[in-house]
Amino acid sequence: MATLVKNIEREFLLQAAKRERAVLSMSAGGGEWNTHIMDVGPGSITLEHGAPLSALRKGAILEFRCALRGQTLAFKTTVLEPGARTLKVALPDKLYKNLLRRFARMAPPGDLSASFSFLGERYDLDFPSGGAYGPSDSFQPSEDFNPADIRELVAEFDRKAGGAASEHGIVMYKNRIPQGPVERLAADTGRAFYLPSILSGLPLSDPFAERTILTRDDFLSWFMDEEGLDREFAEDEVVRLERAKRNDGVLSELLVPVLFQEYVLGHVSVTNKRQGHPPLDLKAVETFGAFARALAWSLKLHGYFKGSPRLDDSYATEVLDVSAGGLLFACRDARLIQALKDGSEVNVRVSAKRRNVDAVGVIRRHYAATREGLFGIEFTGMAPEDFRFLFEYLYGRAFTDGDADSVEGVRVLRP
């Protein structure tokens, strides 16, 4: 995740880039140009460059990126004094490091268009739609659960859950919708409700590398955003939720949503009300999370969705900006806005007059409003010759060995 650098570190990093003659990639005039820092003054930076003077008008806002000491730096700033070989820009107010995005985004060229399709078959199912996406064309099997035999799969869940807690169950949402704050928030986010101990209450943080469990702040935000409560009243609702669990005799609890594509099929729950029994630990979150994934895959494997209608395969996009590592597009199709979730895997085709580029991508960020959604696709796989073409087409310069160091995350696809 990008981190905003404090002023004193900003000065240090800029001076380090100057000393080490680091290459700063500058986006200007519809192209990308390499620059080096010559001087860092009290309110300005002087750079040497090879860009055309016509691209460097005074007052223009330029974007800079730099790979320095194993991390990516980025900032935007204003042109103070353009020159044929040197350029003075304002010292940036904000400088970011540790960016996930490795390439500068550009306004799309006039002849560029893009379309995408979901990986695997997609279904129109009579289940509630959630806020996360469950992959439907691949499954990473675990040692604990085998989806090949659905009866044995459920029996294995019964054995493991029976040894971990006093109560367990599987609830499908075929004829009901998620009920109450716990089920609704788990469905909305695709994350598990985890109460490690009634004494400690809801977790304050998520220890997993990828967001996996709901935290206390998640519930506060949900009560404020979805229920329209002020923070003080939202705090009261969270306390009331914890008190209700305590009054129901819950000592430790886990509820994991079962996700398939954009749908929430149901949830699995494991609850401990037995005094003296060990509380559910993080291993339990992993174990029963694996079961939820295996259950969704097993249902597909055994034809649970076989009679359901298929959804359209290919969608055109309105590209807002594009880079060698991904693109941002707008969508006004209400059904598609509902279907696209963070983590959705897609095939992408970027078309220009001279070439079509095919890539595999993942939805990494989205903002879905009532009438329009904005979605960011990160390219995760692309043929090397397609990547080179797209890079040179967008940035107006040759792809170099130095640029190859920034291609991490874009897997090379072989024929």
CATH number of domain containing 63? 2.30.110.10
Residue 327 lies in a domain: yes
372 or 177: which leads in pLDDT:
177
74 or 141: which leads in pLDDT:
74
SS3 state at 166: coil
Q: Looking at residue 277, what DSSP letter applies?
A: S
pLDDT of 367 strictly over 80: no
Q: How confident is the model at residue 408 (pLDDT cuts 50, 70, 90)?
A: very low
Q: Check whether residue 271 and residue 143 sit in a common domain.
A: yes
The residues near 134 (Cβ < 8 Å, ≥ 6 apart) are 190, 258, 259, 260, 261, 263, 293, 296
pLDDT at 335: 67
pLDDT at 401: 67
Q: Give the mean pLDDT of 183-198.
A: 93
Q: What angle do CA 348, 352, 356 make, to 5 degrees?
A: 50
Q: How confident is the model at residue 2 (pLDDT cuts 50, 70, 90)?
A: low
Report the DSSP pairing between strands 44-49 and 31-40. Answer: antiparallel
Q: Looking at residue 30, what DSSP letter applies?
A: T
**Sole residue written with tokens 């995350």:** 409
pLDDT at 137: 58
Q: Check whether residue 140 and residue 91 sit in a common domain.
A: no
Residue 352 lies in a domain: yes
Exposure string over 231-242, b if 16+ CB within 10 A, otherwise e:
eeebbebbeebb
Residues 25, 33: Cα–Cα separation, whole Å: 6
Residues 189, 211: Cα–Cα separation, whole Å: 10
pLDDT at 304: 81
Highest mean pLDDT among 141-145, 343-347, 401-405: 343-347
Per-residue pLDDT tens over the stretch 347-366: 898 988 889 999 988 887 77
CATH number of the domain where residue 208 is located: 3.30.450
278 or 267: which leads in pLDDT:
267
And the tokens for 274? 């037995």
- Percentage of the chain beyond pLDDT 90 is 35
pLDDT of 374 strictly over 70: yes
Question: In 3D, which of 232, 236, 197, 203 has the Cα closest to residue 217?
Answer: 203
Q: Check whether residue 190 and residue 260 sit in a common domain.
A: yes
- Percentage of the chain beyond pLDDT 70 is 86
Residue 104 lies in a domain: no
Q: Check whether residue 226 and residue 352 sit in a common domain.
A: no
User: Which of the listed residues 284, 301, 318 is the one where a domain comes to its end?
Assistant: 301
Q: Check whether residue 91 and residue 151 sit in a common domain.
A: no
Residues 394, 341: Cα–Cα separation, whole Å: 27
246, 199 Cβ separation under 8 angstroms: no
pLDDT of 280 strictly over 70: yes
Q: Cα dist. 159→145, 168, 261, 273 in Å?
A: 11, 10, 28, 17
Q: Check whether residue 227 and residue 242 sit in a common domain.
A: yes
pLDDT at 131: 67
Per-residue pLDDT tens over the stretch 383-394: 888 888 988 888
User: Which of the listed residues 251, 278, 301 is the one where a domain comes to its end?
Assistant: 301
Report the length, in residues, of the chain: 415
**Overall number of domains in the chain:** 3
124, 310 Cβ separation under 8 angstroms: yes
Structural domain that includes position 187: 129-301
Query: What is the Cα gyration radius of the chain?
Result: 25
pLDDT at 217: 92
And the tokens for 350? 């970027």
Q: Give the mean pLDDT of 238-255.
A: 95
pLDDT at 165: 92
CATH number of the domain where residue 406 is located: 2.40.10.220
Q: How confident is the model at residue 371 (pLDDT cuts 50, 70, 90)?
A: low
Q: Check whether residue 143 and residue 286 sit in a common domain.
A: yes
Residue spans of alpha helices (H) in 302-355? 334-339
User: Which of the listed residues 270, 301, 332 is the one where a domain comes to its end?
Assistant: 301
Q: Check whether residue 63 and residue 159 sit in a common domain.
A: no
Residue 201 lies in a domain: yes
CA torsion 91→40→99→31, rounded to 10°? 80
And the tokens for 252? 């430790």
**Sole residue written with tokens 């739609």:** 129
Q: Check whether residue 284 and residue 140 sit in a common domain.
A: yes
How many other C-beta atoms are found inside a 10 Å radius of the C-beta of residue 410?
22
Q: Give the mean pLDDT of 21-30.
A: 86
Residue 154 lies in a domain: yes
| pLDDT averaged over every residue in the chain | 84
pLDDT of 412 strictly over 60: no
Question: In 3D, which of 369, 349, 370 has the Cα closest to residue 359?
Answer: 349
Residue 329 lies in a domain: yes
Q: Give the mean pLDDT of 218-237.
A: 89
Q: Cα dist. 413→359, 381, 385 in Å?
A: 9, 6, 10
pLDDT of 333 strictly over 90: no
Q: Check whether residue 35 and residue 62 sit in a common domain.
A: yes
pLDDT at 239: 95
Q: Give the mean pLDDT of 362-374.
A: 71
251, 273 Cβ separation under 8 angstroms: yes
Question: In 3D, which of 242, 244, 249, 247 has the Cα closest to residue 275?
Answer: 249
pLDDT at 126: 74
pLDDT at 248: 95
Residue 162 lies in a domain: yes
Q: Check whether residue 136 and residue 249 sit in a common domain.
A: yes
Q: Check whether residue 266 and residue 156 sit in a common domain.
A: yes
Q: How confident is the model at residue 1 (pLDDT cuts 50, 70, 90)?
A: very low
Residue 103 lies in a domain: no
And the tokens for 297? 């895959």
